[in-house]
């Protein structure tokens, strides 16, 4: 009888020990999965330096991207492409550069500051002439800017603002730059040019079509002929100094997705090639 009791006790001890070991192993596996998941979903912040004309579309795209990538925070730095170029050259933190012209992208590429195989011509745009919504002026074309009746014209600053460079090309090719220049007021980016027209501080302004379309305070009176200026191309690239190149490349890939393309087209952009 005593031997039987001892045997039963030993069996119970073995069962309890086995169960404990099994639970311990299961817990360890669960912890490993948890650790692996944590590593996969490590919080990352991407800084995107983008041309001011991309502000509305990119803010919407940010929301779409966040739904599938909750661990990635997108921070935008909007401004004139030339200014953003200089910031990157001076070492300002940036993971992605989105320019409103190839000039600034080419400059950074020439200084070996970009991941070259990520450079893509993402979008295209049109350049338009706008006037205040309730304007009584007779501005109907770019040539009308040379009229004595037009006193102030808002343009982008030529040195650092691509739309200012396109504007100069257009007015020069139309042979009216010498008449428009004395009455030109230069904005630090395309959004400032748009604001001056919206508030009626100028008689007319030259902006991108996409900026004009989102405003209820201006009218588009003319679109610049394609042969009057270089094609308006928006190249994008990962900055070589990015601390999160993998996530940056993933975000650029998303910008070429059907979801992102639909947003860009909604705001009036044309898709690049």
Residue ranges at the known binding site for molybdate = 53, 81, 190, 208
CA 193 and chain centroid, separation: 19
Pick out the residues of the known binding site: 53, 81, 190, 208
Q: Say if strands 204-208 and 153-156 run parallel, antiparallel, or are unpaired.
A: parallel
């Amino acid at each position: 009888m005593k031997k039987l009791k001892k045997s039963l006790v030993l069996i119970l001890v073995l069962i309890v020990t086995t169960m404990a070991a099994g639970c311990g192993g299961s817990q360890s596996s669960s912890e490993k999965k948890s650790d692996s998941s944590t590593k996969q979903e490590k919080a990352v912040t991407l800084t995107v330096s983008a041309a001011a004309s991309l502000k509305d579309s990119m803010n919407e795209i940010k929301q779409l991207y966040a739904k599938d990538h909750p661990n990635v925070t997108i921070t935008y730095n909007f401004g004139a492409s030339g200014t953003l170029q200089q910031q990157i050259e001076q070492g300002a933190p940036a993971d992605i550069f989105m320019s409103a012209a190839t000039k600034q992208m080419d400059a950074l590429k020439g200084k070996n500051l970009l991941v070259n195989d990520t450079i893509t011509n993402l979008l295209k745009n049109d350049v338009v002439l706008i006037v205040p919504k309730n304007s009584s002026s007779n501005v109907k074309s770019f040539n009308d800017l040379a009229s004595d009746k037009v006193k102030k014209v808002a343009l982008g600053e030529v040195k650092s603002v691509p739309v200012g460079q396109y504007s100069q090309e257009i007015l020069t090719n139309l042979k009216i730059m010498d008449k428009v220049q004395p009455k030109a007021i230069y904005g630090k980016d395309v959004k400032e040019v748009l604001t001056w027209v919206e508030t009626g501080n100028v008689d007319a302004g030259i902006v991108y079509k996409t900026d004009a379309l989102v405003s209820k305070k201006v009218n588009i009176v003319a679109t610049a002929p394609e042969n009057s200026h270089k094609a308006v191309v928006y190249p994008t690239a990962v900055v070589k100094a990015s601390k999160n190149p993998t996530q940056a490349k993933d975000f650029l890939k998303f910008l070429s997705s059907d979801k992102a393309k639909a947003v860009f087209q909604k705001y009036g952009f044309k898709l690049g090639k």
